[in-house]
Amino acid sequence: MLEKILSISGKPGLFRLVSRGRQNLVVETLDENKKRMPAFAKDKIVSLADIAMYTDSEEVALKNVLKSILDKEEGKPLEMDIKNISGEELRKYFAQVLPEFDRDRVHDSDIRKLLQWYNIIVRNGVDFSEDLKEDEEK
């Protein structure tokens, strides 16, 4: 499922892939508005399935990090004010989720974006458990 959830550079939030055209993708906002729009080749489009977080030893797939947050928060959205929390508190929270994250290469802005994405995913009922099952089968 995460391969169909997209981040588009310069556009806030997350998008669900609806269909592919010859010159573009049709995406839908992952919020209550469900607004559809085209995304073109000039836009930097990244699937959440292709994103990983740096750790001291290797890169950890975003789906595994999201699963850790989901387990910690018991499937509920985060209660913290992500935009206004201090960098120190942000890193302390993230260390509970991914203890071995690379403190030099993972920036506060990366953690904020990840936590915002987590809230969007949880609030919109995106189920990425099949992505995790595929990993277990490999």
pLDDT of residue 108: 95
| Residue 76 near residue 122, CB atoms below 8 Å | yes
Residue with tokens 């906002």: 29
Percent of the chain with pLDDT over 90: 77
- List the structure tokens of 68: 């850790």
pLDDT at position 125 is 87
What residue ranges define each of the domains in the chain, with the CATH number in brackets?
A: 2-48 (2.30.30.730), 51-137 (1.10.10.1650)
C-alpha dist (Å) from residue 88 to 93, 103, 111: 9, 11, 11
Q: For residue 55, what pLDDT is reported? A: 95
pLDDT at 19 over 80: yes
pLDDT above 80: residue 132: no
Q: Which of 79, 55, 28 is nearest to 64 (CA)?
A: 55
The pLDDT tens digits for 53-109 are 999 999 999 999 999 999 999 989 999 999 999 999 999 999 999 999 999 999 999
DSSP state for residue 104 in the 8-state scheme: T
